[in-house]
Amino acid sequence: MSEKDRYDADIHQENTDETDSGLTEDMTAREDTGQAEAPQTAEEAGSPEQKMDSSDEKVEEDTGTDQEDGHPEESTQEDSEKDSEEDLGEDPEEDLEEDLEEDESSGPDDEETESKIPAAKRSRRKRRGRRRSRMIKQKRKSEKKGKKGWIIAGSITGAVLLMYLGAAAFFYSHFLINTTINGKDFSGKTVEDVKEYLIGQVAGYQLTLVEQNNVTDVITGADISLVYKENSDIEDALRGQNQLLWIVSLFSRSSTDITIEVEYDEAALEKKIQTVQAVTAEQKEPVSARPEYDGNVFVVAPEEYGTAVDMETFTAKIKEYITEFRPQLDMMDEGCYILPKYTSESPEVQEACDTMNQYLSASITYPMTEDVVVDKELISSWLSYDEEMKVTFDETAVREWMRGFGSTYDTVGTTRSITSPTGETTEVSGGTYGWSVDEDTETQKLIDSIKNGEVAEREPVYNQTAASHSEQDWGTTYIEVDISEQHMWYIVDGAVALESDVVTGLPKDDRDTPTGVYSILYKEKDSTLKGETDPDTGKPSYETPVDFWMPFTWQGHGFHDATWQPSFGGSRYQTNGSHGCVNMPHDKASQLFDMIEDGTPVIVHD
């Protein structure tokens, strides 16, 4: 049972005792006032002293009976809780101490006064006294335990502190944990230990260089006059330690690395390095992994290792190894050769391949006399990469290709052959008719299509077009003029629809009719033909009205009726030729005017 439960039980017992005590006092009061049920004789009543004794015995008997039985009359729960709260208060220990002081100040002075206190109240005071004793003992016991705990904790802390300071004192003459000097661990060692090691390493030291193909060279301490010259470097390193923070060294290595320089002949070492076989051999540069077109896509071509030595790294590593007295240097492992910048595992190379393959996904087909396809085979030649694996799409190369494409398929002014209705075949060149690719516009359009991975078939953008991509690009409907025969034909779908003798330009004074392939620019009725302006008169050299005007050059050459000509054909043009036009009989000019359209090809040849 807890202390609180025992205290509540005592309060309950006190309430029961008070109830019994009240009944006893009531009975005694009735006896004193003569309210007994039956009269008493003098003998039964006895003397006053006997009455007092009898009364005391009765009270003691009743009280004793209550304590032995341990079953006092029950009080209500409300009264018990109230009495318990009054007795216990907020602080039981404080209430008990107050009760003790109260008892001491108002307690009985003699036996006579004590005898006047009811037995129940005396019993309650006794129980309170016992409770006070228990509480006081427990409080003292707790205070004793608390003091003992502080003493133990202080002792442990002091012991740990002494051990820590003892370790710090040790490191005043020894190197901290994880201290490396010239690459060797000297944890907990003294200055003399380090010196002894360095001196021992100098004697008989040699460095073996492992090169490609297991070729080896050796540099000995004697070759370079290697010595350890004692100085204060080691002592300075020891003094530079923070001994009080020795525990930090258990978890930190990089902050305690120390290098003690050894002395050697720098010139002798450099001379020895120049005799190493790896240095004297052919210095072949390495080749990095790179994108390579395999005929379908770009793949990663593996790197190629060379034999060229990285002299700066090689020299630095030799000096490092000598300083640390390390016995063997593997040149490949230590990166003493110039290595490829990129290997097959380098993500930059794969990213470059991926980018280039995106360009290869495009395919543009131009339907010319035969299909011209811009596909991966051609596009791959326009792709490149730099030292940083940045992909470049060569737009200049695309423009160059487009110029070649135009040269191949542009027909304006080129030489073509023509077979006349007479069966004679001749060549014709010059003129303004034919195919002409708009190279600038089409180049940019092609570049955009490739960048977007477009797959398409389309005609290129043209400055002007012709009737066919065949050798005779004027097609099967055209006008032919044979100057030597002074004859013309209008061919429709390969058959003669109209023919006539004509008079062409006078073959002198720049009045001859120009040869070449042209086209009808426009048609006009009732037009006045004007010659060049005469500088003397300021007027055209001639002004001739015609009914039907069909020009094929912007310089004024065309077909028209010529009613002033008495005849056509033959050799008349040589003496009475035109100013460059093709003169026709009025009826033939009228028929031609009605049959042709703007853009009809015109072939003029000798």
pLDDT of residue 204: 81
More confident residue, 22 or 216: 216
What number is the average pLDDT over the span 299-318?
96
pLDDT tens-digit profile of 59-96?
334 434 444 344 444 444 444 444 444 444 445 445 54
Q: Is the pLDDT of residue 243 over 70?
A: yes
Name the 3-class secondary structure at 287.
strand
pLDDT tens for 378-413 read 999 999 999 999 999 999 999 999 999 999 999 999
The total of other beta-carbon atoms located within 10 Å of residue 149's CB is 9
Q: Which two tokens stand for residue 63?
A: 């009280």
Q: Alpha-carbon distance 456 to 362, whole Å?
A: 8
- Give the model's confidence band at 164: pLDDT under 50 very low, under 70 low, under 90 confident, else very high: confident
User: Mean per-residue pLDDT for 139-156?
Assistant: 76
Q: Write down the pLDDT at residue 114.
A: 52
Residues 6+ apart with CB under 8 A from 606: 426, 482, 483, 484, 515
What is the structure's pLDDT at 320?
Answer: 92
Distance (Å, whole) CA 488 – CA 374: 43
pLDDT at 50 over 50: no
**What is the C-alpha to C-alpha distance for residues 92 and 112, in angstroms, rounded to an integer?**
32
Mean pLDDT, residues 594-600: 97
Residue 514 has pLDDT above 50, yes or no: yes
Q: How far is CA 567 from the centre of its chain?
A: 89
Given this model, what pLDDT does residue 592 score? 98
Q: Could you give the percent of the chain with pLDDT greater than 70? A: 77
Q: Which pTM does this prediction carry?
A: 0.56
Model pLDDT for residues 268-286, shown as the tens digit of each residue: 999 999 999 999 999 999 9
More confident position, 371 or 69: 371
What pLDDT does residue 520 have?
98
Contacts of 311 (CB under 8 A, 6+ apart): 279
In terms of Cα–Cα distance, which of 180, 164, 368, 363 is closest to 259?
Answer: 180
- Is residue 163 pLDDT above 70, yes or no? yes
Structure-token pair, residue 464: 């002007």
Given this model, what pLDDT does residue 509 score? 87
What pLDDT shows up at residue 536? 87
Is residue 598's pLDDT more than 90? yes
Helix or strand (DSSP H, E) at 25: helix 3-32
What average pLDDT does range 47-52 have in this prediction? Answer: 42
Q: State mean pLDDT over 310-332.
A: 93
Local confidence band at 156 (pLDDT 50, 70, 90 cut-offs): confident
pLDDT at residue 573 is higher than 90: yes
Q: Which of 156-170, 388-402, 405-419, 502-516 has the lowest mean pLDDT?
A: 156-170
Per-residue pLDDT at 59 = 38
pLDDT-derived band at 129 (thresholds 50, 70, 90) equals confident
pLDDT at site 364:
97
Q: Considering only 41-45, 238-242, 390-394, which range has the smallest mean pLDDT?
A: 41-45
Query: Out of 116-120, 146-150, 417-421, which region has the weakest mean confidence (pLDDT)?
Result: 116-120
* pLDDT of the residue at 123: 75
Candidate from 30-34, 334-338, 539-543, 547-551 with smallest mean pLDDT:
30-34
Q: In whole angstroms, what is the distance from residue 560 CA to residue 529 CA?
A: 10
pLDDT tens-digit readout, 177-198 = 888 876 778 888 898 888 777 7
Mean pLDDT value of segment 148-170? 81
pLDDT band for 9, please (50, 70, 90 cuts): low
Report percent pLDDT > 90 for the chain: 56
**Segment 424-453, tens digit of pLDDT:** 999 999 999 999 999 999 999 999 999 999
Higher pLDDT: 256 or 225? It is: 225
Higher pLDDT, 428 or 174: 428
pLDDT in tens, 446-504: 999 999 999 999 999 999 999 998 889 999 999 999 999 999 999 999 999 999 999 99
d(CA 544, CA 531): 9
- Residue identified by tokens 């023509």 is 418
pLDDT surpasses 90 at 313: yes
Mean per-residue pLDDT over the chain, rounded: 82
For 185-219, b/e burial (b = at least 16 CB within 10 A) is ebeebebeebeebbeebbeebebebbbeeeeebeb
Give yes or no for residue 56 having a pLDDT over 80. no
Domains of the chain: 3-26+47-141 (no CATH), 173-341 (no CATH), 347-464 (3.10.20.800), 478-605 (2.40.440.10)
The per-residue DSSP string of 294-352 comes to: -SSSEEEEPPB----B-HHHHHHHHHHHHHTT-SEEETTTTT-BPPPS--TT-HHHHHH
